[in-house]
């Protein structure tokens, strides 16, 4: 994605502009709050207090953030290769199937530290498989990855419903979900870390998947900016023509990027399934894959930004739950609106304020803005 | 004779189920033919459905409801245009954003205004579009073959159903027989050529998006004011995406779009009808398989295994003057 705009100092590019976009998104969200007849400032205070005020709140915030780190990384890896993976939702759903198969067969025999690595592999493999098919169709048959991944979300949903009301459901049960996993499938909690700081936690699902998510964020950074494969992926993302000229195999890059993306999406399922619910139920992903799009865009596709954005969204989820309790006219759907606004202003309209900021910078010191870049496609 | 009645009934529900798909599909056709990808069809339908049902309930008029549905849907289309035409943002990202804003705000505003868990008040007669009984429909009902076909299939739908099907030849005419249509197709293939001819690319694309907004608004109004007597949260339930699939399946052509939507509507109707009962030869088909079939068919088509779907060449690429 070449920028047809003049250069700005790095801190303005990576700090100021995202901050302005984010603020606009929240101002518009505030207007929605006014529209339903509540005070947006009081709502913001309740939201932040609900997320960070108590130990339990912090633990829940980080639990949600864990999920979003995985999906955000998933979207970002594909995006570095200029592939828009909307299929994170479906890949995570199918990743849950991998976990279910491992846990259902081994949960009473293996301890968690043996079962967890197996589940990681299974979830990643199933997610990668669900990313592989659209990638193959894009690379070999030229079908558009956005459309195929959307279709695969629906196919994943139908497949999982079929399995959960049939094969995976225990006999005699009515609920469309697997039996509850026991023993080894329950991951250790991390709440004691927060309790070290003196906060009290009643019960919160924060678990070691959070650490796994941070490790993955580091590995993604390593992959994208410190390996040959990552360099090839970014090259392909910037210019498929240049990549082809450099002898990079298009098929191999698209397939690898989408499989890594799918694997990260699949691993997201570990957090709710083994860390919290201890079963696989219908629609357990519940939109986290789509939140990943907002998180990746807001984090500007960089793992550090993604972790921060994921924590922000974790805060919105946890604080939003408290908010809907305090202000009944603000339901949890407020988060969906904010999510949409963030995608709109940080994603689609990311360059809206750039010319103005450039003008301001130029009026202070023309040198800091640099020469006008040549206009190219793909603004 | 029983089988015949059953077939007529399935075809009747096929028509009812394919109307929202058809309207949304034609809506997508206008914007994609003009070179603007629109995966926000789902969101715009949802907004239309909500605005329509709430305005109809508040003002006690179906027509005001339809007007509001179109107005709000066009407003959302303009947001998409502002982001993807004026500011040359990523069209897919913008579409995703619109779907989220629509999904969240319809539920929240619905809850805040009507306090019925995201529903709008049930519409009374006069606030909905009623079925139109064609002349003589009751008289010929008992005539074999022609009777049921005339009175069930052709007569007895609401005005929006007929509008939807009339939109097919109309869209064909606009697309292939008017100056606007020619320019719209050109702007989707080669915007630079249109620009060279002295025609504004942005204004053409905005006009195409207005058409999109009008049609998704009608599609939404159909969902909440004809098929259902009020708005229910997430009532589009992926129809916008099926419409998108149908558009690809139809290779971006209006008449094909109608057949694709009828096919997908038929699959839906058949899966409802066949729930649990086995088919001859094939045996019992799981409902989920029938639900997934439109998506699977689209994937197979896109992959070029049955024919080839070639999208408008400039689709998804923001137009920058003076490369």
ipTM of this model? 0.87
SS3 label, residue A255 = helix
Q: How close, in Å, is residue A123 to chain B by CA atoms?
A: 23
Q: Which of A151, A333, A348 faces B245 most closely, judged by CB atoms?
A: A151
pLDDT tops 80 at residue B266: yes
Q: Which residues contact B47 (CB under 8 A, 6 or more apart)?
A: B72, B73, B76, B102, B105, B106, B220
pLDDT for A219 equals 96
B288 → chain A, closest CA residue = A158
Higher-confidence position of A59 and B6: A59
What's residue B306's pLDDT?
Answer: 66
Q: How confident is the model at residue B48 (pLDDT cuts 50, 70, 90)?
A: very high
* Tens digits of residue pLDDT in B194-221: 889 898 999 999 999 999 999 999 999 9
- A177 DSSP 8-state letter: B
Short-list B150, B168, B185, B153, CA closest to B261? B168
The series of mean pLDDT values per 10 residues for chain A, 379 residues long, is: 60 81 89 86 88 86 94 94 91 94 87 90 95 92 85 92 86 82 81 76 84 95 94 91 90 94 95 89 88 88 92 89 83 85 86 82 67 45
Q: Is the pLDDT of residue B155 over 90?
A: no
Contact A162 B289 (CB under 8 A): yes
Q: Given CA atoms B244, B247, B251, B252 in this order, what sign does their dihedral have?
A: negative
d(CA A338, CA A57): 20
Pick from A287, A378, A284, A362: which is nearest to A332 by CA? A287
Determine the Cα–Cα distance for residues B82 and A331; give it in Å rounded to an integer: 29
Please state which of the four CATH numbers 3.30.70, 1.20.950, 1.10.3470, 1.10.10 is assigned to the domain occupying A58-325.
1.10.3470
The per-residue pLDDT of chain B, averaged, comes to 86
pLDDT of residue A2: 42
Which residues in chain A have Cβ-Cβ distances shorter than 8 Å to B113? 36
Chain B residues within 8 A of A30 when measuring between CB atoms: none
Contact status, residue A142 vs residue B304, Cβ threshold 8 Å:
yes
Contact B96 A290 (CB under 8 A): yes
Chain-chain contact of B303 with A378 (C-beta, under 8 angstroms): no
d(CA A65, CA B186): 46
DSSP calls for A12-77: IIIIIHHHHHHHHHHHHHHHHHHHTT--HHHHHHHHHHHHHSSHHHHHHHHHHHHHHHHHHHHHHH
Instruction: Report the distance separating Cα A209 and Cα A198, nearest Å.
Output: 22
Q: Which pLDDT score is estimated for A72?
A: 95
Query: For chain B, what are the domain ranges?
Result: 19-128+137-239
Residues of B in Cβ contact (< 8 Å) with A152 = 295, 299
pLDDT bin (cut points 50, 70, 90) of residue B248 is: confident
Average confidence (pLDDT) over B135-144 = 74
pLDDT value for B18:
92
- Ranges A72-81, A216-225, B64-73, B157-166: which has the least confidence: B157-166
Nearest to B204, CA basis, from B180, B223, B230, B228: B180
Query: What pLDDT does B316 receive?
Result: 75
Does B120 contact chain A (CB < 8 Å)?
Answer: no
Q: Residue A249, class by beta-carbon neighbours within 10 Å (0-12 exposed, 13-18 middle, 19+ buried)?
A: middle
Taking CA–CA distances from A38, the nearest residue in chain B reads: B112
- pLDDT number for residue B282: 66
Q: Where are the beta strands (DSSP E) in B154-304?
A: 157-158
Sign of the alpha-carbon torsion through B126, B131, B134, B140: negative
Contacts with B295 from chain A: Cβ below 8 Å: 151-152, 154-155, 158
Cβ of A143 within 8 Å of Cβ of B100? The answer is no
Measure in Å the smallest separation between the Cα of A78 and chain B Cα atoms: 14
Supply the pLDDT for residue B148: 74
Mean pLDDT of B47-55: 93
Closest residue on chain A to B290 (Cα):
A158
- Name the residue ranges covered by the structural domains of chain A: 58-325
pLDDT band at B174 (very low <50, low <70, confident <90, very high): very high
Enumerate the residues of chain A whose CB falls inside 8 A of the CB of residue B240: none
Say yes or no for a CB contact (<8 Å) between B288 and A161. Answer: yes
Q: Is the model more confident about B82 or about B271?
A: B82
The per-residue pLDDT for B129 is 81
Task: Report chain A residues whose CB lies below 8 A from the CB of B109.
Answer: 35-36
Q: Is B78 on the interface with A (CB under 8 A)?
A: no
């Amino acid at each position: 994605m070449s920028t047809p705009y003049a250069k700005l100092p790095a801190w303005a590019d990576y700090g100021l502009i995202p901050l302005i976009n984010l603020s606009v998104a929240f101002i518009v969200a505030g207007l929605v709050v006014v529209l339903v007849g509540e005070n947006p400032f009081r709502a913001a205070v309740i939201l932040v207090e609900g997320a960070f005020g108590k130990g339990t709140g912090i633990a829940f915030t980080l639990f949600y953030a864990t999920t979003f780190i995985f999906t955000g990384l998933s979207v970002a890896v594909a995006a570095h290769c200029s592939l828009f993976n909307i299929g994170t939702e479906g890949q995570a759903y199918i990743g849950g199937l991998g976990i279910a198969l491992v846990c259902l067969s081994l949960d009473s025999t293996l301890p968690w530290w043996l079962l967890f690595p197996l589940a990681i592999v299974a979830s990643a493999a199933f997610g990668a498989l669900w990313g592989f098919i659209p990638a193959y169709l894009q690379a070999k048959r030229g079908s558009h990855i956005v459309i195929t991944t959307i279709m695969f979300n629906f196919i994943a949903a139908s497949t999982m419903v079929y399995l959960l009301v049939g094969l995976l459901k225990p006999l005699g049960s009515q609920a469309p979900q697997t039996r509850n996993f026991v023993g080894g499938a329950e991951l250790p909690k991390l709440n004691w870390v927060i309790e070290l700081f003196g906060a009290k936690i009643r019960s919160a699902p924060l678990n070691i998947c959070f650490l796994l998510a941070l490790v993955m964020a580091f590995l993604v950074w390593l992959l994208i900016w410190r390996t040959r494969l990552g360099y090839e992926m970014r090259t392909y993302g910037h210019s498929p023509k240049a990549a082809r000229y450099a002898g990079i195999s298009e098929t191999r890059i698209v397939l690898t990027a989408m499989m890594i993306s799918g694997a990260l999406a699949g691993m997201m399922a570990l957090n709710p399934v083994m860390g919290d619910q201890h079963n696989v139920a219908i629609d357990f992903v519940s939109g986290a894959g789509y939140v990943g799009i907002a998180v990746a865009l807001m984090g500007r596709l960089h793992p550090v930004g993604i972790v921060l954005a994921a924590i922000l969204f974790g805060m919105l989820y946890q604080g939003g739950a408290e908010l809907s309790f305090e202000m009944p006219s603000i339901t949890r759907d407020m988060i969906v609106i904010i999510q949409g606004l963030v995608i709109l202003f940080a994603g689609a309209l990311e360059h809206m304020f750039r010319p103005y900021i450039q003008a301001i910078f130029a009026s202070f010191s023309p040198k800091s803005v640099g020469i006008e870049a040549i206009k190219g496609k793909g603004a | 004779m029983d089988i015949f009645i059953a077939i007529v009934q399935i075809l009747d529900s096929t028509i009812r189920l394919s109307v929202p798909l058809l309207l949304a599909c034609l809506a997508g056709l206008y914007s994609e033919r003009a070179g603007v990808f629109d995966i926000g069809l789902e969101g715009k339908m949802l907004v239309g459905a909500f605005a329509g049902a709430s305005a109809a309930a508040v003002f006690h008029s179906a027509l005001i409801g339809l007007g509001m549905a179109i107005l709000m849907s066009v407003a959302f289309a303009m947001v998409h245009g502002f982001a993807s035409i004026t500011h040359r943002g990523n069209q897919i990202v913008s579409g995703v954003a619109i779907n989220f804003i629509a999904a969240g705000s319809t539920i929240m505003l619905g809850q805040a205004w009507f306090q019925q868990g995201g529903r709008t008040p049930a519409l009374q007669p006069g606030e909905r579009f009623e079925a139109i009984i064609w002349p003589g429909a009751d008289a010929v009902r008992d005539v074999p073959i022609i009777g049921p076909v005339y009175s069930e299939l052709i007569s007895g739908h609401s005005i929006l159903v007929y509008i939807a099907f009339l939109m097919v030849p109309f869209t064909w005419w606009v697309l292939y027989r008017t100056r606007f249509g020619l320019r719209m197709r050109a702007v989707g293939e080669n915007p630079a050529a249109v620009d060279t001819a002295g025609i504004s690319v942005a204004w053409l694309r905005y006009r195409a998006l207005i058409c999109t907004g009008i049609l998704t608004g009608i599609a939404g109004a159909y969902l909440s004011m004809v098929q259902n007597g009020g708005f229910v949260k997430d009532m589009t339930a992926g129809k916008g995406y099926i419409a998108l699939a149908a558009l690809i399946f139809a290779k971006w052509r209006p008449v094909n779009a109608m057949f694709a939507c009828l096919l997908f509507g038929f699959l839906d109707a058949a899966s409802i009808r066949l729930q649990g009962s086995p088919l001859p030869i094939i045996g019992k088909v799981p409902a989920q398989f029938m639900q997934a079939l439109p998506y699977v068919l689209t994937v197979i088509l896109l992959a070029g295994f049955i024919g080839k779907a070639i999208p408008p060449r400039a689709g998804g690429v923001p137009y920058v003057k003076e490369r």
